Amino acid sequence: MTMEIEMETVVKRFRDYISFNTQSDEANDKECPSTPGQMVLAKHLADELRSIGLTEVTVDEHGYVMATLPANNGDDSPVVGFISHLDTSPDAAGGPIHEQIIHAYAGGDIVLNEEKGIVFSVADFPGIERYKGQDIMMTDGTTLLGADDKAGVTAIVSAAEYLMAHPEISHGKIRLGFTPDEETGRSADRFDVKAFGADFAYTVDGGEIGGLEYENFNAANPTILFHGRSVHTGDAKGKMKNAVSMAAEWQQMLPAGEKPEYTEGHEGFFHVHTVAGSVELVTMEMLVRDHDRAHFERRKALLDDMAAFFNKKYGEGSVEVHHRDVYYNMLEKIEDGNLYVVELAREAMEEIGIEPDVQPIRGGTDGARLSFMGLPCPNLFTGGANFHGRFEYLPLPSLKKAAELVLAIMVKAASCKGKAGK
């Protein structure tokens, strides 16, 4: 059976969602959602889900939206879930978004904003040329677009709407979930896996067409504190202990080739992303990433060894390392009896003419944490590229295919009877 979602449907829905400014705020760890715009979109989305006929639609006080597409096949098929996030990245301006469609992209550079002289350069982003001839949505170069992850929300809701409009298509129970604050790393904190009630799920939060991901980094975000001693510079010899100098020395001691700008694939890294302070105290924020758990633990141990060296060199208490693990590689849980979830997605892709592109995620998704919370949860593509920046773009045929992939999995999930829960 051919199931095709109209391009006009997904484009209109996506434009609706990006009209809401839902940038999250990493600094606001006291409230959830961290910004009010996310709750506005959550309530709007809940109203939309009710209007297309979904049941058990809820919005909790933290902006988590859940809904049910009831089974119509009369059997005890497993319950499949689909999850996307409502917030957009705080790394670039989030709105108001002035989107535009580059119709039948001819290749070459694109002038996004003539007045401000903003040009999308193919030399910087050559990957766009694979979409020659397609309609591509971008912004005017002053904000991000928001395909991460409003393209995912669009794909899920459009697929659910299609099934509601075609009751002749047999399927099991389907659960939909939409979360706040994914970009801050906190969205899984309050996700109620038991209330969601799915046997397995997919986050729809990936990049370009074909993406199927079930392997991600193990991640830690340590904070390093450097304690110095301030003395008048005219009388500092043998007395001053400069925390700024210690932080600079620390950065130089990290393995030179093991930084994000030098690594790819399964290669892990150390990354210093924020340094703030003065002679007395410097606070350094780091990322430690590795796909291999044993290597990951060794990386954290190296930081402890470095701290011990500094404390011997500069005096006890000069350096403190505060470790904070954030998420782990979902491959551990997927390989533990749940590979059928990946195979289901792979087969669905092939059936609708998409070549699966299985790559390790050089990052993490909600699905990584949810997998460790008992909900196996690989990640599917949304179609977008250049996330978190003002040169983000979304080939519209890829968005349409993302919705059709979700639809295909919704229908095929009933075939997993007897596998879920292993």
Report the binding-site residues for Zn(2+). 85, 148, 183, 205, 388
The 65-69 sheet, strands edge to edge: 55-59, 65-69, 174-179, 80-85, 200-204, 379-380, 211-213, 357-358
Q: Are strands 325-327 and 218-220 parallel, antiparallel or unpaired?
A: antiparallel
- Whether the CB-CB separation of 159 and 382 falls below 8 Å is answered with no
DSSP 256: T
Structure tokens at 159: 């697929």
The interaxial angle of helices 396-412 and 339-351, nearest 10 deg, is 120
Q: Are strands 110-113 and 200-204 parallel, antiparallel or unpaired?
A: unpaired
Distance CA 220, CA 229 (A): 29
Residue type, 339: L
Q: Which residues pair with 102 in a beta bridge?
A: 136
Q: Is 291 helix (H, G, I), strand (E, B) or coil?
A: coil
The HSE-up count of residue 105 (CA atoms within 13 Å, CB side) is: 27
Catalytic positions, written as ranges: 87, 182
For 374, counting Cβ atoms within 10 Å of its Cβ (0-12 exposed, 13-18 middle, 19+ buried), the class is exposed
- Residues 192-213, buried b or exposed e (16+ Cβ, 10 A)? ebeebebbbbbbbbbbbbbbbb
Cα 318 to the center of its chain, rounded Å: 36
